[in-house]
Structure 1
């Protein structure tokens, strides 16, 4: 429970494990005791039976990541946590259980894992497709009309940066040139009637960049107690991602 803020020592809580995992741990402990003596207690030891430090364990894990061609400096433990959270969600674990196991004070971060599961995505898409309010939103759309890139003057094309990634050619802005939009390009475009998305624009890239940036905000918020709940930055990204999804679906219909 090391994610709890303001505590000198991590909380330790008893957890139930399967008989199969318990047997494997028991055999592993017996082998350690045979090699280094019956009084040995730590599970992670070096070749001499001495307890490995946190820094040494992190170094070993980093080496395993590099060997597997996974290169994310400074994110060794974070990647393992994400893998655990996503693995639990893919197996159908509820957000409350994931939050409890990861030591979160809120279920907001856990809900991101649940929302990313393929099965949940299919269920949500099917349910939204039958929803009358959703159909009305799709019919009205949150932007202007969908257009073709070749039919629009290049001077009106929208460009911007999302999550340190350049995004260009997503649509055109109907503001008269050289008017400067007071809002942040790309982020605000998908909820603006002045924005006309290109039917063949890279809207999928925008969605992925927004999702990655939203996860960055979640990771940063985890470091400050109480910052996950009512996080406006995350909420804003969720609304923008919803608008991008609506645009992607609408563009698909236009192509068909």
Structure 2
């Protein structure tokens, strides 16, 4: 270390020591509310602690003060201020990102922001801190500066708050995955999820013993996440009292509105479960009275599922991967649900209320990425280039002509949808006589379908069904919510995927 650098470091240490000496004593007790356990938790002896354990969402989150060195006492005051002004989740987020900034860039930068005169600290932010920090770290640094202002630590005071608000942060596109479309489940993957839920409902209607309790629980979780775009934390906080079953068979579920800027806005919003899927929740409530449904023993008894948000996230991710062959997260399900509504032409305010956004402006990104009417028709015709990079067969397996001819007649798929005879496209694991859906039109989006390896057969189906889509679009005046139009669009997208998948397999051989 050069003499100049050593002198700068000594000056920083002297300045930080002066700041620490001016600090008031830390409170002997610090309390925060753990809304998952619905308990007020107490932190003791913070002044002597080298780390802090905050219990949230059924798990312990550690804040390590040792990484902040001689500035640790200052950070403790800031953490206490965060717990008083912010949600505990935000406190943990800020503390971890603050520690990450120190690990990435050293302690000198943090000490400079804390102890330097205000305009020198602003220059350091503009010249160094902003360029060296990632978005999460920049947000933590800004939150730290706001607390320094509010607590009048160092040269900072409440009148400096406008200067902190004026600091520029690293540019980041918070909605990049929405704009690029990479977070949206394709139509056949959505169809696979719906088919799975319908299949569980069908098994349950025939025999309650046919559905395992854990499988039933996971299906209910998938319904709430897929249909209503709720986050794992919201699903985990659903209480038994939040599920209302009516004599008509209808089921309503109340879910807390999370991530609201004003805590007074964290009310419960009610959603009605789709009538066909309501029996899943009725059965779940009945079984919950007799068994734990694979619950976490540390989760509160009042909660419907008794699982932590992390466990629910893992369940959704694993279930989506098993059904679609690709890894989709709960956030992807949420974005997809929002985009479905935007594509269907729902009003802006209705989408914001559905998503329970803290700001109405957040919904704008879904309308910006929603395709035009011409693009929608192209998607329905299965010729949109948007899906060109996804050339996979999300089906069980393919079969050749010899295998197809050896199948029983009932398992050889054929039909005359809309007056167009279609046969020889593949086989069915179940059999057409046992299928509760429309054969041929539903086959390409069904997990039981075994497509024939002959590409020409499926290309012919694609060409034969395209005029039908145009006819329905014209007759319904481009009504995107028409059930027939939606089914045809989904079918044609599935056919196109099979064709591309078979061509890709042929190119690899």
The structure with the largest helix share of the pair is 2
Question: Quick check: which has more Rg, 1 or 2?
Answer: 2
Structure of higher RCO (CA pairs closer than 8 Å, 6+ residues apart): 1
Shared fold by TM > 0.5?
no
TM-score with structure 2 length normalisation?
A: 0.23
